[in-house]
Amino acid sequence: MTVTMVLRTDVGRILITGAGGRVATAFRQAMGDRYALRLAERDLALLRDRRPGDEVISFNIADLDACREACANIDTVLHLAADPAPDADFCGSLMDNNILGTFNIFRAAKDAGCRRVVFASSAQAVEGYPLDYQIRPDDAPKPKNLYGASKAFGEGIAAYFAHQEGLSALSVRIANFTTLSRGEQLSARDMSAFLSHRDAADLLDRCIRVEGVQYAVVHGVSNNRYTRLSLEETRRLLGYAPQDDAFSLLGFE
């Protein structure tokens, strides 16, 4: 397996949307000092932990002009902004934040000449598959809720811009992104879908830097004893080698 990565110093400026969210914060804490970052967030109070030198902008992702301003002079977009609630109201939130907002970011990134968009999809886009079936990246979306449907839409938008408009895009199906404590009680599904903070940061870093990828769906889970989402293809494409295992962290021998 040969995985080619662009050096961090050659990647250029990174825009992170939803920069105050949990996944973005984990990425910034682990990798932020290695990149030139522009942090886009509706609520700037969430960015009190930003590093000196980080550029900060307030924007509404449902506003295409605001997205165009955010993408100006950017090389790669890490698109993490969304309403992540499984029971989010479709018309009241998902339509603007997850549907229109995702289109706006891809449209603005393409028009601004960005190199790539890394899109935070979700395991919820494929959660409708049986629990005893290990989901692969080329499996069709099968959401169990409207949040998952909104992420399936985002994967479609990413594929369209990659294949029809030439903008490199990776859709990352982020699973159970959380922290674990020994003895904590979790369902077998949640353990198999666990994604640690350090594995998430490493995965997103690899998505930003990998060369020669026009479009791909990759899976965001840790090195769990059993993984709800297959890691075979993601390991091969990115050289991803997650370090954490929910079963070990919870004390299962």
Contact indicator for 253, 201 with CB cutoff of 8 Å: no
44-70: string of b/e by CB count within 10 Å (b at 16+)?
Answer: eebbeebeeebeeeebebbebebbbeb
Helices 64-71 and 101-111 cross at an angle (nearest 10°) of 40
CA dist 225 and 170 (Å) reads 25
Contact indicator for 170, 153 with CB cutoff of 8 Å: no
CA dist 205 and 5 (Å) reads 10
Would you say how long the chain is, in residues? 253
Q: In the sheet that 36-41 helps form, which strands lie side by side, from edge to edge?
A: 55-58, 36-41, 13-17, 76-79, 116-122, 168-174, 215-220
CA dist 99 and 102 (Å) reads 5
Q: Is 133 among the catalytic positions?
A: no
The residue from 35, 133, 147, 215 that is catalytic is 147
What is the CB neighbour count within 10 angstroms for residue 1? Answer: 6
Contact indicator for 67, 107 with CB cutoff of 8 Å: yes
Name the 3-class secondary structure at 210.
strand
Known catalytic residues?
147
